[in-house]
């Protein structure tokens, strides 16, 4: 197709070709084309097939207001051709059509529309229920809009950005740019979003003169130049807004591709003031076959010519309801389109200059007429027009039907911001009755259509935004408001008209193939408000996000008389206002995790790393999922574990001990200088939330450890539970400051002694002792603990020295067969010893008493009541609680049940917390939480395991610990 290369409004570079493929065809567009305009320029008129009826669909709007032009681009389905800029080498394919959109094998579905009434899914397949699983795959296959594999990864580069702003303006049309410039002149930082690839909005392409005689597009271009020159305005083009929230939070995304370093990026702005200047879209005209290829909006036809240099058709009929429609007819005539007739819904109120212009060109103007039916199978061939009463009709040949019922404001951002909308009789718009604080509406969205009035309303909103930022603008706002009053106000809108023959194939929602008849069916079923009809008939629930039916549905329902509301009421708008990829929401896909100081050493040693919470940790160091060799190494020689993820804190100050007494169940006044004290924390319900050790490192100075999972919240927990006490203490999170090495096994002492001059004998450093000494001249903190049930040294090493000390110990332990062990081995080792892990052997309801740790509780604190104290008193002897018990299998050769398996008799009596095969004991052992009447030693437990086929696994409650019950090995 030959382009109109001479127009000053063009946004393409005709001399810069862009090659792409469409199906098997190799086509060419030019720089500046969208996929849709490039296809249209290459003669493509049927872009795809509709969802249910497989009707041919073509270019209708140019801003993605419907799913008509969804295509597959480079393997990604459901890409909107209207808003996707063409790139060299793109592979474009149609979707939902076989073998192609021009001839679709499922095109016969259109003739079966009678079988798919409103609520088809609910009514037809509701019963028998067994039909549903059979029907779903078939329906999805026939009605799908592209397919995605569950493991599909969106291609392309995603990014995110959080620009700082004082004012956020949505829409870079004349009003939006005026608002931005006003705010920028006051030195405020402005972020300006525009969904199109260039600023200007509705006036950017229009050649009609403004009140001062200068063409609209020229005046708009001057405004755009000023915006681009302003250092205070950041203009994001091709950036549709997704959502608007309270406190000035606005989210958007920006389409990129070269030269941008991203394909799409997520944008989030929090501004003190928000200006919504999103303008209007055109309200679809309702008539039979109103979505036939060749039917398009006035703005679409006009922009095709003015912006992309493409004539939308050879012979056109216009059926419009606004002056820009008349302006488009005049301009397209001048550009070479034959205009057979212009029908205008309005009897009066037409711009006399435009009426005169039509007359001078001998274009017939039919006042009060509109299209009633489009004819043609795959594209428009002729159109029937009728007068208001339907008595007079004309049928005209054409290949283009420009149809528009008038404008409808894009109020989605206002609604999301919290504005309430009401129907305005004059404009026919849903307009906000009151705006939330620091949110302003400007421009055509208010019903104004005059260039100067739109600009002034934008500037007024800009001044209000300045005021929101604390700069007094009272006088300026008053002056401008007065000036705005002297400019043309909101324009009277066309009345809602529906052609007399409309119904069966008059589409109110293109995306969901929902017709006026479907709406009638829904109302006949008793659904009498748009919100209900929307759901029952699927009107406005497609990818167009309600753009096409958003206005017509409430007007039609109201006109029907079915609605109980006195005025039309719009349906609810929700984010995202413009659909985009989930991958775009993920932005840069930051997955921030923590690594211990010896992460790489563990990987090099064969560690199988797993992500546990924020940390990467070694699960095991061999292929053996049971880690038998690692377990035996600890039990018979020496093993070494990286336990750096433990929470570590310093708490100090005159009131430090009071703080500890508040959050720990034990008596913290009795923590000696050279010993570690094991204790636990409960929540207000007496339920166990954490355990660890506390050591006193100086006067009013303590060092304590917490579980890995609680490390991140311990400071807040402590601050929260001391918030009213005005105690003088400090707390520092040292979790990352120290790495922790657990050296465990009968040979642990011998290994440690090789690298330190300190006396680590049992006499000098007994069980539960705490010492500070140097290893390889690195000062560290050491504790004699026994979580895995063997002689153990827990060494707290400054993080930067961890690798050095770990390597020293590995070298020193070579002669003793030292080997690293991971979490799996640690889990089995501590299970054999009967030690609990909070979260594994406890859950939300588990108290200190339930897991047998009641002995830690000190009832009579001198300082303050312990968190959870009252609940511990109440639950101490409460019957019916789940108690932690050990169990062995009735048949020792049986496999251990899976963690989480339930314990049953005639009902669920508890569940297995952890069960493993013990290499040392040569039988499976486990810990379970069971009802107290099943917790006595020798009580039988029947365990139901997923996949057991009804054969319960038999176990018996037994005493713990399973291994070394006297605790002798801890004290070696």
Partner 1 sequence: MKPDNRLRQSPVQLDGRPHRTLVRDHWPVVCEYADEGDGPWLVDLSHCQRIDIQARPLAAMIPEGLPEPEAPGEVRIQDQSLITRMGKAQACLWRFGQAAAFPVGFNGTEITEATLALAILGRHTFAIAEKLSSLDLQAPGRSLPRLYQGPFAQVPCQLVVLDAAAGREMLLLSCSRGYGRDMVGAITNAGAEFNLRPAGEDRFMRMFENREKGA
Rg (CA), the chain: 37
Residue 757: CB minimum distance to partner 1, A: 10
Q: Is 466 in the site for partner 1 (CB under 8 A)?
A: no
Q: In angstroms, give the least distance from the CB of 154 to partner 1.
A: 17
What is the Cα–Cα distance from 219 to 222, expressed in whole angstroms? 5
Looking at 592, 716, 877, 966, which residue binds partner 1 (CB under 8 A)? 592
Report, in Å, the least distance between residue 644 CB and partner 1.
8
Structure tokens at 638: 């020496």
How many angstroms separate the CA atoms of 817 and 473, rounded? 80
Stretch that binds partner 1, among 310-318, 476-484, 538-546, 771-779 (CB under 8 A): 771-779
Q: Shortest gap between Cβ of 728 and partner 1 (angstroms)?
A: 6
CB of residue 813 vs partner 1: minimum separation in angstroms?
17
Tell which positions 170-199 bind partner 1, by CB under 8 A: 187, 189
**Token couple for 386:** 């009728």
Which is closer to partner 1, CB of 676 or CB of 734?
734
Tell me the three state secondary structure of residue 234.
strand
| Mutual angle of helices 174-185 and 216-229, in 10-degree steps | 30
**CA 893 to chain centroid:** 50
Instruction: Show contacts with partner 1 in window 211-230 (CB under 8 A).
Output: none
Which parts of 295-354 interact with partner 1 (CB under 8 A)? none
Which residues ranging from 594 to 633 are in contact with partner 1 (CB under 8 A)?
Answer: 594-597, 614-615
Q: Does the protein bind partner 1 through residue 111 (CB under 8 A)? A: no
Q: Count residues contacting partner 1 (CB under 8 A)?
A: 45
Structure-derived torsion over alpha carbons of residues 289, 293, 299, 305, reported in degrees to the nearest 10: -150
Pair 243, 409: CB distance under 8 Å:
no
Binding mask 258-277 for partner 1 (x = CB under 8 A): ---x------x-x-------
Among 136, 148, 229, 588, binds partner 1 (CB under 8 A): 588
Binding mask 716-755 for partner 1 (x = CB under 8 A): ------------x-xxxxxxxxx-----------------
**Position 779 contacts partner 1 (CB under 8 A):** no
Longest dimension (CA), the chain: 113
Nearest approach, Cβ of 261 to partner 1 (angstroms)? Answer: 4
Which residue's CB is nearer to partner 1, number 682 or number 752? 752
- Minimum Å gap between C-beta 259 and partner 1 is 10
Q: In whole angstroms, what is the distance from residue 27 CA to residue 21 CA?
A: 6
Structural tokens at position 766: 């007994």
Exactly one of 367, 650, 754, 881 binds partner 1 (CB under 8 A); that residue is: 650
CB 830, min distance to partner 1, A: 24
Q: Which stretch binds partner 1 (CB under 8 A): 98-106, 205-213, 772-780, 889-897?
A: 772-780
Shortest Å, Cβ 162 to partner 1:
4
Q: What is the C-alpha to C-alpha distance for residues 751 and 743, in angstroms, rounded to an integer?
A: 9
Token pair 């969802």 is found at 51
Among 10, 92, 799, 885, binds partner 1 (CB under 8 A): 799
- List Cβ<8 Å contacts ≥24 apart for 517-521: 518/117, 518/118, 519/118, 519/553, 519/556, 519/557, 520/560, 521/117, 521/118, 521/119
Candidates 55-63, 162-170, 817-825, 893-901 — which segment interacts with partner 1 by CB under 8 A?
Answer: 162-170
Q: Which is nearer to partner 1, 532 or 614 (CB)?
A: 614
- Minimum CB–partner distance for residue 614 and partner 1 (Å): 8
Q: Per CB under 8 A, which region of 307-315, 573-581, 584-592, 872-880 contacts partner 1?
A: 584-592
In the bound state with partner 1, the residue whose beta carbon lies nearer, of 716 and 946, is: 716
Residues 6+ apart with CB under 8 A from 42: 1, 22, 25, 27, 28, 29
The residue within the footprint of partner 1, chosen from 164, 229, 870, 921 (CB under 8 A), is 164
Vertex 307: Cα angle to 301 and 311 (nearest 5): 45
How long a stretch of residues is the chain? 972
Residues 362/354, Cβ–Cβ less than 8 Å: no
Choice between 503 and 798, CB closer to partner 1 = 798
Residue 770 CA neighbour count, 13 Å, CB half: 19
Cα-to-chain-centroid distance, residue 143: 26
Residue 741 pairs in a beta bridge with: 642, 795
Q: Where does this chain touch partner 1 (CB under 8 A) — which range of 421-429, 635-643, 798-806, 881-889?
A: 798-806
- Beta-carbon contacts of residue 337 (< 8 Å; ≥ 6 apart): 305, 311, 312, 313, 314, 315, 316, 400
Q: How far is the CB of 166 from partner 1 (least distance, A)?
A: 8
- Of these, 801, 911, 962, 963, which contacts partner 1 (CB under 8 A)? 801
Nearest residue (CB) to partner 1, 738 versus 765: 738
DSSP per-residue string spanning 569-611: -PPPP-S-SS---HHHHHTT-----B--TTHHHHHHTT-EEEE
Side-chain-side CA neighbours of residue 582 (13 Å): 4
How near is the Cβ of 658 to partner 1 at its closest, in Å?
A: 15
Quickly tell me which residue has 């009107």 as its tokens: 539
DSSP state of 499: -
Q: Is 801 helix (H, G, I), strand (E, B) or coil?
A: helix
Q: How far is the CB of 740 from partner 1 (least distance, A)?
A: 13
Which range, of 27-35, 364-372, 797-805, 829-837, touches partner 1 by CB under 8 A? 797-805
What string marks each residue from 802 to 821 as x (binds partner 1 by CB under 8 A) or -?
xxx-----------------
- What are the backbone dihedrals phi and psi of residue 451, each rounded to the nearest 5 degrees, phi first? -55, -50
In the sheet with 167-170, reading across from the earlier edge strand, the strands are: 233-236, 190-193, 167-170, 273-276, 439-441
The token pair that represents 908 in the structure block: 């669920």
CB of 587 to partner 1, least distance (A): 9
The least distance separating partner 1 from the CB of residue 734, rounded to whole angstroms, comes to: 6
Find the shortest distance in angstroms from Cβ 188 to partner 1: 9
For 119-203, list the strands marked E by DSSP. 158-161, 167-170, 190-193
- Integer Cα distance of 927 and 137 in angstroms: 45
Query: Looking at beta carbons only, is 394 or 594 nearer to partner 1?
Result: 594
**To the nearest whole angstrom, how small is the minimum distance from the Cβ of residue 821 to partner 1?**
21
Q: Does 591 bind partner 1 (CB under 8 A)?
A: yes
Interface residues for partner 1 in 122-161 (CB under 8 A)?
A: 159-161
Q: 929: which residues sit within 8 A by CB, 6+ positions away? A: 841, 842, 843, 846, 850, 882, 883, 884, 885, 910, 911, 913
Which CB atom, from 170 or from 711, has the smaller least distance to partner 1? 711
Q: Are 461 and 473 in contact (CB under 8 A)?
A: no
φ, ψ of residue 838 in degrees (nearest 5): -65, 130
Report the residue from 21, 347, 433, 593 that binds partner 1 according to the rule CB under 8 A.
593
Mask for 827-866, x = binds partner 1 (CB under 8 A): ----------------------------------------
Which one of 152, 162, 392, 855 is in contact with partner 1 (CB under 8 A)? Answer: 162
Binding of residue 590 to partner 1 (CB under 8 A): yes
Check binding of 778 to partner 1 (CB under 8 A): yes
Contact call for residues 557 and 529 (beta carbons, < 8 A)? yes
Q: Output the CA–CA distances (angstroms, integers) from residue 380 to 110, 503, 791, 922, in the order listed.
A: 17, 19, 88, 82
State the nearest-atom distance from the C-beta of 105 to partner 1, in Å.
46
Binder of partner 1 out of 318, 333, 527, 652 (CB under 8 A): 652
β-bridge mates for residue 299, sequence order:
none
Residues that bind partner 1 (CB under 8 A): 159-164, 187, 189, 261, 268, 270, 588, 590-597, 614-615, 650, 652-653, 728, 730-738, 776-778, 798-804
């Amino acid at each position: 197709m030959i382009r109109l290369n001479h127009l000053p409004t063009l946004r393409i570079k005709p001399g810069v070709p862009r090659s792409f493929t469409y199906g098997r065809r190799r086509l060419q567009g030019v720089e500046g084309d969208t996929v849709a305009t490039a296809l249209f320029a290459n003669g493509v008129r049927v872009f795809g097939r509709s969802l249910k009826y497989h009707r041919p669909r073509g270019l209708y709007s140019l801003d993605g207001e419907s799913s008509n032009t969804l295509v597959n681009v480079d393997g990604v389905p459901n890409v909107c051709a209207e808003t996707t800029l063409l790139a060299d080498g793109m592979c474009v394919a149609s979707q939902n059509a076989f073998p192609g959109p021009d001839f679709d094998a499922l095109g016969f579905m259109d003739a079966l529309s009678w079988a798919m009434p409103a609520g088809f899914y609910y009514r037809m397949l509701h019963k028998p229920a067994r039909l549903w699983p059979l029907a779903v795959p078939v329906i999805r296959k026939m009605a799908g809009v592209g397919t995605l594999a569950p493991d599909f990864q969106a291609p392309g580069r995603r990014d995110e950005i959080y620009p700082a702003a004082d004012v956020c303006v949505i829409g870079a049309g004349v009003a939006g740019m005026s608002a931005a410039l006003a705010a920028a002149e006051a030195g405020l930082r402005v972020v300006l979003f525009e969904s199109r690839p260039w600023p200007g909005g509705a006036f950017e392409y229009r050649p009609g003169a403004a009140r001062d005689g200068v063409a609209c597009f020229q005046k708009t271009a001057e405004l755009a130049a000023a915006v681009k020159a302003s250092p205070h305005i950041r203009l994001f083009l091709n950036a549709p807004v997704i959502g608007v929230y309270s406190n000035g939070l606005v989210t958007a995304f920006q389409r990129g591709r070269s030269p941008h370093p991203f394909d799409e990026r997520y944008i989030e702005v929090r501004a003190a003031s928000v200006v919504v200047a999103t303008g209007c879209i055109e309200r679809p005209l309702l008539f039979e076959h109103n979505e036939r290829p060749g039917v398009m909006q006035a703005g679409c036809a006009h922009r095709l010519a003015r912006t992309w240099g493409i004539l939308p058709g050879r012979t056109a009929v216009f059926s419009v309801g606004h002056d820009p429609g008349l302006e488009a007819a005049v301009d397209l005539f001048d550009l070479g389109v034959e205009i057979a007739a212009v029908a205008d819904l309005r009897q009066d109120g037409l711009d006399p200059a435009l009426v005169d212009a039509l007359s001078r060109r001998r274009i017939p103007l039919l006042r009060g007429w509109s299209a009633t039916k489009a004819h043609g199978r795959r594209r428009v061939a002729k159109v029937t027009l009728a007068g208001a009463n339907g008595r007079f009709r004309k049928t005209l040949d054409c290949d283009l039907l420009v149809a528009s019922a008038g404008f409808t404001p894009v109020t989605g951002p206002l609604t999301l911001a919290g504005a309430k909308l009401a129907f305005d009789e004059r404009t026919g718009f849903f307009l906000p009755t009151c705006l939330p604080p620091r949110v302003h509406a400007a421009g055509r969205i208010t019903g104004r259509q005059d260039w100067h009035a739109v600009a002034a309303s934008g500037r007024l909103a800009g001044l209000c935004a300045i005021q929101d930022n604390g700069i007094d603008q009272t006088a300026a706002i008053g002056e401008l408001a007065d000036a705005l009053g002297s400019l043309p106000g909101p324009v009277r809108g066309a009345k809602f008209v529906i052609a007399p023959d409309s119904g069966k194939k008059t589409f109110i929602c293109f995306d969901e193939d929902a017709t006026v008849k479907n709406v009638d069916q829904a109302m006949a079923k008793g659904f009498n408000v748009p919100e209900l009809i929307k759901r029952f008939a699927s009107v406005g629930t497609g990818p167009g996000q309600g753009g096409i039916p958003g206005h017509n549905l409430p007007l039609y329902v109201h006109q029907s008389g079915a609605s109980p509301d006195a005025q039309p009421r719009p349906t609810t708008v929700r984010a995202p206002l413009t659909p985009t990829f989930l991958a775009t929401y993920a932005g840069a896909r930051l997955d921030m995790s923590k690594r211990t100081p010896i992460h790489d050493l563990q990987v090099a040693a064969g560690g199988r790393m797993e992500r546990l919470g924020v940390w990467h940790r070694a699960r095991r160091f061999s292929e053996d999922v049971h880690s038998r060799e690692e377990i035996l190494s600890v039990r018979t020689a020496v093993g070494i574990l990286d336990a750096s993820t433990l929470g570590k804190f310093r708490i100090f100050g005159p009131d430090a001990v009071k703080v500890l007494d508040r959050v720990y169940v034990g008596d913290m006044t009795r923590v000696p200088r050279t010993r570690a004290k094991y204790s636990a924390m409960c929540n207000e319900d007496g339920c166990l939330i954490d355990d660890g050790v506390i050591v006193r490192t100086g006067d009013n100075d303590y060092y304590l450890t917490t579980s890995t999972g609680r490390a991140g919240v311990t400071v807040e927990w402590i601050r929260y539970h001391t918030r009213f006490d005005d105690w003088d203490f400090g707390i520092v999170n040292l979790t990352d400051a120290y790495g922790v090495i657990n050296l465990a096994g009968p040979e642990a002492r011998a290994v440690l002694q090789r690298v330190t001059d300190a006396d680590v004998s049992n006499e000098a450093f007994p069980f539960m002792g705490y010492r500070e000494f140097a290893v390889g001249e690195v000062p560290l903190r050491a504790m004699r603990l026994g979580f895995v049930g063997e002689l153990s040294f827990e060494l707290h090493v400054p993080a930067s020295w961890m690798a050095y000390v770990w390597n020293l110990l590995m070298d020193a332990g070579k002669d003793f067969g030292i080997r690293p062990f991971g979490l799996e081995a640690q889990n089995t080792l501590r299970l054999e010893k009967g030690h609990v892990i909070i979260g594994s052997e406890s859950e939300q309801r588990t108290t200190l008493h339930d897991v047998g740790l009641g002995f830690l509780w000190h009832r009579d604190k001198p300082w303050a009541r312990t968190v959870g104290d009252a609940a511990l008193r109440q639950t101490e002897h409460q019957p019916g609680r789940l108690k932690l018990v050990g169990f062995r299998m009735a048949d020792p050769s049986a496999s251990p049940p899976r963690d989480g398996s339930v314990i049953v008799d005639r009902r669920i009596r508890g569940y297995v917390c952890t069960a493993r095969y013990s290499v040392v004991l040569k039988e499976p052992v486990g810990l379970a939480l069971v009802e107290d009447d099943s917790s006595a030693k020798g009580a039988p437990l029947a365990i139901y395991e997923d996949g057991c086929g009804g054969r319960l696994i038999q176990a018996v409650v037994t005493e713990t610990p399973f291994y070394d019950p006297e605790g002798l090995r801890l004290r070696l």
